[in-house]
Structure 1
Amino acid sequence: MGHGGNIYRFAQHLGCLPEQVLDFSANINPEQAVDLDCLQQVQVAPYADPDYSALKQALKTRYPQPVGVEIEVFNGDSAAIFAILRYLQPNDLVLYTPLYGEYAQIAGHLGCTLHNINRFGSVTAAVPKNSTVIFVNPATPDGRLYEMQALLTQWQATDCTIIVNESFLDFCVMDSVAEHITHYDRLYVIKSLSKFYGCAGIRIGFILAAAQAIKALIRFEPTWKLSSLDMAYMRQALANMAFIERTRQQTAYRRDLLGQALQASGLFEQIYPGQANFLLAKLVNDGDGYQLQARLAASRLLVRVCDNFTGLDKSHVRFAVKDESAIAQLASCLREIHW
C-alpha cells in the first residue's frame, strides 16, 4: 500500500466492510476532540468565507504566532507540501530520509535535483549552498523527535530555504520552530490537524511563514479550498484545549503497550524508539513485511510495510498507536505467527 489508511481497497480484497478493518497502517488518533453533532447547525447554503477568518483565528489561538508570522490553510498537509514547492521552485532539494515518497514524487514533477541525507547515518551531513531542505519532526516512519537548533543553525549558515513538517509534533512536548521565522524569513512550517485530532476525513493543514511569504504563496491558491463543514468541525476541535494533554498522556501509555506487544511477539529484531503516535519495527532475519501483512489480514488487521520509504525495505513495518482493545487484539494475532 503506497500510503497508509486505504481500508477500502483492503476491505474489498477481504470481502468485508471498511468499518470492520482494524487499521494500524494510518497514524490517526483513535480519539476525537468533538462529536459530529457540532455540525448540526452549520449553514451550507452560502459560500464559505474565502478568507477563512474564523478558522485562522482558532488556529492562532491554538498555535500562537510570533509577530510578522502569518498562516495559510490548505486541503490537508499534502496540498500544503505541493503548494509550497510549486511556489518555491527549488533547484536543489535536500530530503532527510527515511521519508514519505510524496516529497520525491513532487520534486520529480517540478524538475528539482534531489539530494538525500540518511538521518540514521549522519543527520548533520553538509548540504548544498542555497538549497531547499525538507525535514519532518517528529520523523516518519520512525517517530524520532529531533532537537532542531543545531540543524537550523547549519541550514541558515548555508543560506538554505527551510521547510519543517511538524504534522506529529502535537503528540510531543516540544516547541515549534515557528518562533524562528521572525529571525529567518526563509523558514516555512507545515502542520496537519487530521493526525492529532483523529479526523483524517477533515482535510485541513496549514503553513506558518513570514507575512510576505504567505502573501506571495496565496497568489497561486484557489478562492475556496475548505468546506464550511470542515472548518466548523475544526474550530470546535481546536477549542477543546483539555484534549491536548489528555491525548499526549493517552498516546504515551498506549505507545508503551504497543511496544510491549511487538517485543513480546519475538518477530522483530529492532523496535525504533519513537515519540509520535506510531512505532517502526524491523522483522528478524530481514523478514518479509508483506507476508506479515497477509497473515494479519486474516484477522482484518492492516499494517504498513515501509519499503516505499527511501532507505528502508520490506522488513520494516510501521504500527499506528490504537486503543487498548485494538492493541490487545494485535498482540494476540502476533503471538499466533511463527516464521
Structure 2
Amino acid sequence: MKSFALKDILRPHIANLAPYSSARDEYTGKVGVFLDANENPIGSVSDHCYNRYPDPYQAEIKARISPIKKIGTEQIFLGNGSDEPIDLLIRATCRPAIDRILIMPPTYGMYEVSASIHDVPVDKVPLTADYQIEVDKVLNAVVPETKIIWICTPNNPTGNCLESSVIEKIVRNFSGLVVVDEAYIDFANTSSWLDRLAEFPNLVVLQTFSKAWGLAGLRVGMCFASEELVRILNKIKPPYNISLPAQQALMSGLDSAERKDVMVEEILKEREKLRTMLSQLSFVLQIFPSDANFLLVRFSDASAVMSYLIEHTIIVRDRSKVFSCEGCLRISVGTTEENMELIEALKSFPLPI
C-alpha cells in the first residue's frame, strides 16, 4: 500500500488553524447557571430549551451511533447532510486552482459542485457501459495534485454497487483520500467499507440518515474517518452545525433502529414489484440493476414521459442529460399506493401512432 500521511495532503493553513472556541467548548456540562453565550435566558419555547445552543459535537448522538456502526465516537463526524463533509473535505485538502479531485461519472453531482465552489479542478474517469470502475484508467489519471478520489456505491444515479476489489485497489494505490459514499448502503446486500476503516488511514466513509432511516428532513449526514481527520473537520466546521431540534429528533430516531430495518425490507419488496410492473410497459427499454431505493429506467422517449408524469403531478428525476444516462429517468421507490399511481398513469401514456 502507498504511504499516507494526512499532514501531506492538508492545506498548510488548515493544519495550523486555531479553531473558533464556542461557549460550549469551554464548558460541556448540562447543569449550571449559563451566562456565557449571550443567549436569551427566557426563551420563547422554554420546554424545549431552544433558547440554548446545542452541543457542537453531538456527543450523545455519537455515543448512540457508535455501537450501531461498531466504530469509536472519535471517528464520527456529523454534518448538515452528507453535503457538509463533502464540502469540508475539499476545503481542508485542496488549494484553489491548484489541487484536484477525481470523480467517475455518472455519479453524485455535489462532488463536482463543491469542488467548483472552491475553484478546484475536477478530473473525470467515466464508469464503463455497465457502470463499473476502470481501475487502471483511474490510477493513471492521478497526478501529484490529486487530493481526493470520490466513489459512490451504491452509485447515484445508476443504483448499482461498484466492485469492492476494484475499490480496494484504488485505496491501496493512492496516497490521497478515498471517499466512499454509502448513502444507499442499507439497501445493498454487501458489506460496508466501515469494516475496513481501521485498515486504511486514507479511507473516508460517508453515510446518511436521509435514506433508510427516513429522516431526510433533519439533514444529518455521517462521516467516518481517522481520528486525526475528524479533528480537522471539527476545526473547520461551523460551531453549531446540527440544530437542537435535529439532534433531539435524531435521538428519537436512533431509538427505533429496528423500524429502519423494517422500512428497508418493505422498500426492497416494493422495488422489485415496481421493476416487474415497469418491465411490462412497451416503451420501457431498460431497467438497470439496483442496490438502492430507486430504479434507473431508460425510456423510448424520456422527455415525453417526464412531461406526461408532471402533468399528472407524479414527480420523478430526469437524468437523461447526465453522462451515460441518456434517455433515463430515475424513479424513487414509493409506497405501494404511490407506485401503483405511477404505473396506472404510465399505462395511459399516449404512444406515438
TM-score range, shorter chain: 0.7 to 0.9
Match of 1:45 among 39, 42, 51: 51
Is 1:335 aligned with 2:343?
A: no
| Residues 293/150 of structure 1: CA separation in 2 closer, same or farther (3 Å cut) | closer
- What is the CA deviation profile of residues 190-244 of structure 1, one whole-angstrom value per residue up to 9, with x for unaligned ones? 1111111222211100210000111112211111011111111111212212123
| TM alignment of 1:1-339, pairs within 5 A | 42-65=48-71, 70-89=75-94, 91-121=99-129, 123=133, 124-126=135-137, 127=139, 128=142, 131=146, 132-284=148-300, 287=301, 289-313=302-326, 315-337=327-349, 338-339=351-352
| Residues 191/300 of structure 1: CA separation in 2 closer, same or farther (3 Å cut) | same
| Residues 84/308 of structure 1: CA separation in 2 closer, same or farther (3 Å cut) | farther
CA RMSD of aligned residues (A): 2.2
Q: Is the CA contact 2:75–2:224 (under 8 Å) kept in the aligned structure 1?
A: yes
Ranges in structure 1 where 5+ consecutive residues have no aligned partner = 1-39
Q: How much does 1:148 deviate? A: 1.7
Q: Distance in 2 between matches of 1:299 and 1:215?
A: 49
Q: Which one-letter code corresponds to 2:291 in the other structure? A: Q
Q: Which one-letter code corresponds to 1:150 in the other structure? A: V
Q: What SS is found at the alignment partner of 1:144?
A: coil
Q: Distance in 1 between matches of 2:269 and 2:106?
A: 26
Q: Which one-letter code corresponds to 1:89 in the other structure? A: C
Q: Distance in 1 between matches of 2:176 and 2:56?
A: 32
* Identical residues among aligned pairs (%): 19
Q: Distance in 2 between matches of 1:186 and 1:155?
A: 7
Q: How much does 1:308 deviate? A: 4.8
Q: Distance in 1 between matches of 2:263 and 2:113?
A: 33
* Bigger RCO (CA 8 Å, 6+ sep): 1
Q: Distance in 2 between matches of 1:68 and 1:195?
A: 22
Q: Which one-letter code corresponds to 1:76 in the other structure? A: G
Q: Distance in 1 between matches of 2:197 and 2:287?
A: 35
Q: Distance in 2 between matches of 1:229 and 1:44?
A: 8
**TM-score in terms of structure 2 length:** 0.78
Q: Size of the alignment, in residue pairs?
A: 296
